Structure 1
Amino acid sequence: MSVTILETRGLTRTFGAVVAARDLNVRIAQGEIVGVIGSNGAGKTTFINMVTGYLPPSSGDILFDGNSVLGRKSRDITRMGMARSFQVAQLFPKLTVMENAMVALVAAEGTQPSFLRPLDTPQRRKLANAIFAEFGVSQYRDALVSTVPQGTRKLVDIAMALVSRPRMLLLDEPTSGVSSEEKFALMDTVMSVVRQYGVTVLFVEHDMEIVARYVTRIIAFYSGEIIADGPPKSVLGDARVQEFVIGRDLKVDSAVGESA
């Protein structure tokens, strides 16, 4: 029997007269890899922002591991085990990759560095080195983030979200800004690590090749509502999804790869 790790009930968000998200009822089982698709303004990012505590809903409830997270700050939700990576890497460019890892670990722990509690400790360095090795970025650990190639910077950003070993990871456009030659290698690395950790993944993505290849399920948004939710082949073949999200020229059978 599958265990629900994330559930939203009647989740709604309005901005004045504009309804950005309407009555969203979603259940994500532990271990799922779920893609979220939709055109710009469809409600995808609003949904992710509400779930992770960056935007309060107008109504409804959000349960993580059976506990409501309404009213909790984003950092508190992170400490509960739900991590997030952003479309634009949220890294400190003037710090090294290792220093960024130290900051991420301290934030996840909820502690404050001081003279008696330094930022860089052997235990944190051990955790950081382990995740760097798994993501294949160990050679960059002493480099300034501003000098790291864009594709690698994306990997580092996602590694920062996973360094504290969360139970769930939310990714916003993980291949945005990454060249077409790098995108599959990047996602192969990310998916290999999250499967190794047993992390549940929910990611927003515009690239249908990426979505079809890596997810076990797709949730399609349109005009603030969910118009389809199910296996990749079913959702990508849905008439409304083809009309409002992906277009009718996508070859569904060839798009859905073995990884899905």
Structure 2
Amino acid sequence: MLRVEHLSKSFGGVRATKDVSIDFPAGSLTAIIGPNGAGKTTFFNLISGHVRPDEGRVLFDGADIVGLSSLEVVRRGMARAFQVAALFPSLTVREALTAAVVSHRRGSARVLSRFPVPEAVRRADAIMEMLGLGPKAEILSANLSHGDQKLLDIGLALAMEPKVLLLDEPTAGMGPEERWRMIGKVHDLWRATGMTVLFIEHDMDIVFRIAQAIHVLKYGAVLARGTPDEIRRNQDVIDAYLGTDHRLSETVGEA
């Protein structure tokens, strides 16, 4: 589905990504973790077309997508929800999702149509139902709670009908209860759709709870990769990122 080969990127004299090669099988749920400055968001920027790598390939459904615009990458089937939600603040939840669906399916000329295509409204309602946003359908996006804004941002990505979904710190800025609610929605979404999902996350309890595979970055390079149990016990990862608490504690049960 998605394969990254020898990806490298420098900004000035700083090498942000160093010869990264990772394979993401179709239908997988993968966490990208690492200390601050490890290159996680840069990695997402490279594979989603927001930044062009200096070297390497990004193979999506067998085709190299390096050099394509981020819009064309979306059209190929890769969508992204950002750490800071990118919303339509003056639109209701239903209006925002409907506009996104219309934009994707019909072209930007009809985004502001006064009478949206019924099919687009049905798709928007289905996304709301999937994410538990149905009761918030008529609330302005700007008036949603932080957690619901993040869910709406994921919904806007789903409106692009992706095969691969990138989530950049989906629980950032949330309290414990809201964080677990969010990650439960992400896990349910993954199981319901069979999409390939990649997510960046700092909360290791969440990572160990839901990820099938984990790739650890440090200074832009892959430090380790493996199952949650393997990563929890990897001494290099413990020294660089986790600390001893995660090595000594029991693995959290599967969701």
TM-score bracket for this pair, using the shorter chain length? over 0.9
1:40-189 equivalence runs, <5 A: 40-109=36-105, 111-114=107-110, 120-189=116-185
- Matched residues in 2 for 1:241 and 1:143: separation? 43
Pick from 211, 216, 222: which aligns with 1:215?
A: 211
- Matched residues in 1 for 2:152 and 2:135: separation? 12
1:12 Cα deviation from its structure 2 partner: 0.2
TM-score, structure 1 as length reference: 0.93
Q: What SS does the corresponding residue of 1:54 show, helix, strand or coil? A: coil
Q: What SS does the corresponding residue of 2:109 show, helix, strand or coil? A: coil
Residue by residue over 1:199-243, the C-alpha shift from the partner in whole angstroms, topping out at 9 and shown as x without a partner, is 111000000011010100000000110010111110121111111
1:113 Cα deviation from its structure 2 partner: 2.2
Q: Is the 8 A contact 1:135 1:189 kept in 2?
A: yes
Distance change in 2, residues 1:114/1:198 (3 Å): closer
- Matched residues in 2 for 1:122 and 1:12: separation? 45
Q: What SS does the corresponding residue of 2:214 show, helix, strand or coil? A: strand
Q: Establish whether residue 25 from structure 1 lines up as the match of residue 21 from structure 2.
A: yes
Aligned length: 255
Q: Is the 8 A contact 1:32 1:216 kept in 2?
A: yes
- Matched residues in 2 for 1:209 and 1:123: separation? 39
TM-score, structure 2 as length reference: 0.94
* Structure 2 counterpart of 1:231, one-letter code: T
What percent identity do the matched residue pairs reach?
Answer: 38
Mark the runs of 5 or more structure 2 residues left unpaired by the alignment. none
Q: What SS does the corresponding residue of 1:14 show, helix, strand or coil? A: strand
Distance change in 2, residues 1:163/1:186 (3 Å): same
Q: What SS does the corresponding residue of 1:151 show, helix, strand or coil? A: helix
Distance change in 2, residues 1:115/1:237 (3 Å): closer
1:166 Cα deviation from its structure 2 partner: 1.2
* Structure 1 counterpart of 2:135, one-letter code: Q
Residue by residue over 1:129-177, the C-alpha shift from the partner in whole angstroms, topping out at 9 and shown as x without a partner, is 0110111111211111111111111111112211233111100000001
Over aligned residue pairs, what C-alpha RMSD do you find? Answer: 1.8
Q: Is the 8 A contact 2:102 2:116 kept in 1?
A: no
* Structure 1 counterpart of 2:67, one-letter code: G
